[in-house]
Structure formats: C-alpha cells, structure tokens
C-alpha cells in the first residue's frame, strides 16, 4: 500500500481512561480490524504524520459528553501498531482534531473515505497517515 493512506472508523471512540477495559479492548479491535481491511501489505518502516479527526454529534455549545481528543488517541495509535506501522515511535508528527457533525463545513477535494464517514450518519473517526515531512524543515 502506498502513502498517503486514509480510512474511517464508525462509532464513538473509547477513552484510554475508561474503567471498562473490555470495552476499550473491543474498540481497539474495531480500529485494528478496520485498518486491516483497508491497508494491504506489511507495516511501513517510514516516519509518519498521523491526523485523526473525531467527527462527533453534540448540541452546539455542549460538548460535555464528548471525550477529550488526547484520551482517544492512545487506543487508536496502539491499535495500528503492527498493521500500518511497526511501532508508534515512527509517528513524528501528530494532529488530533474534533469536529461537531452539526457544524457547517466547506469541503474541497473530499476523499472517498471521508465521504463514507459522513454517509454513515453516525459519529466517526477519520484517519490520514502519510510520510512525515523532512525533520530539517520546520
């Protein structure tokens, strides 16, 4: 498979801080399964930039039920170890974003995977994995 690579995972992400460890393992398995179904080939050994966008549904101005971005990142990164990359130490650049599905967006160059996420009519994660930029170029 070549980079950049992107895919979506439909469903509400589980925080790594949850007390329900069985549910957390189930979420990791869901992410891993989705990655495996869309990525063909061996894990890459390249340094990577990973962007995760969490598209959630909440009333405007009330995001109290939405997990913090930093709490949903670790399970996703762990789930992709050995599938997309050898180990998450290869991620030199990381972006985590949250977007309310009730927002209004202007989208240019909509990818197939992002379109699939929106068409699911549910909360979802969109992941984009690409080669990291040259570390000498800040």
Q: What domains sit in the chain, N to C, each tagged with a CATH number?
A: 5-131 (3.30.1330)
Q: Which tens digits make up the pLDDT trace of 30-84? A: 999 999 999 988 999 999 999 999 999 987 777 777 877 888 999 999 999 999 9
Tell me what pLDDT residue 66 has.
80
| Confidence check: pLDDT of 130 > 90 | yes
Q: Six-digit token pair at 136?
A: 């000498």
d(CA 54, CA 51) in angstroms, rounded, equals: 10
pTM: 0.91
Are 76 and 13 within 8 A, CB to CB?
yes
Backbone angles phi, psi at 97, to 5 degrees: -130, 155
Q: Six-digit token pair at 91?
A: 């991620």
d(CA 78, CA 75) in angstroms, rounded, equals: 5
- Going by pLDDT thresholds of 50, 70 and 90, the confidence category of residue 1 is low
β-strand partners of 52: 96, 127
d(CA 113, CA 115) in angstroms, rounded, equals: 5
Q: Which tens digits make up the pLDDT trace of 89-102? A: 999 999 999 999 98
Q: Which tens digits make up the pLDDT trace of 94-127? A: 999 999 998 888 888 899 999 999 999 999 999 9
Are 7 and 38 within 8 A, CB to CB?
yes
């Amino acid at each position: 498979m070549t980079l950049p690579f992107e895919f979506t995972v439909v469903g509400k992400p589980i925080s790594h801080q949850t007390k329900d460890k069985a549910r957390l393992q189930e979420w990791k398995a869901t992410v891993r399964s989705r990655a495996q179904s869309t990525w063909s080939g061996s894990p890459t050994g390249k340094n990577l930039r990973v962007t995760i966008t969490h598209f959630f549904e909440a009333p405007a101005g009330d995001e109290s039920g939405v997990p913090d971005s930093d709490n949903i990142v670790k399970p996703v990164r762990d789930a992709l170890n050995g599938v997309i990359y050898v180990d998450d130490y290869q991620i030199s650049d990381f972006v985590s974003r949250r977007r309310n599905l009730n927002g209004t967006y202007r989208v240019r160059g909509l990818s197939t995977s992002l379109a699939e996420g929106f068409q699911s009519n549910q909360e979802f994660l969109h992941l984009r994995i690409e080669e990291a930029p040259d570390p000498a170029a800040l």
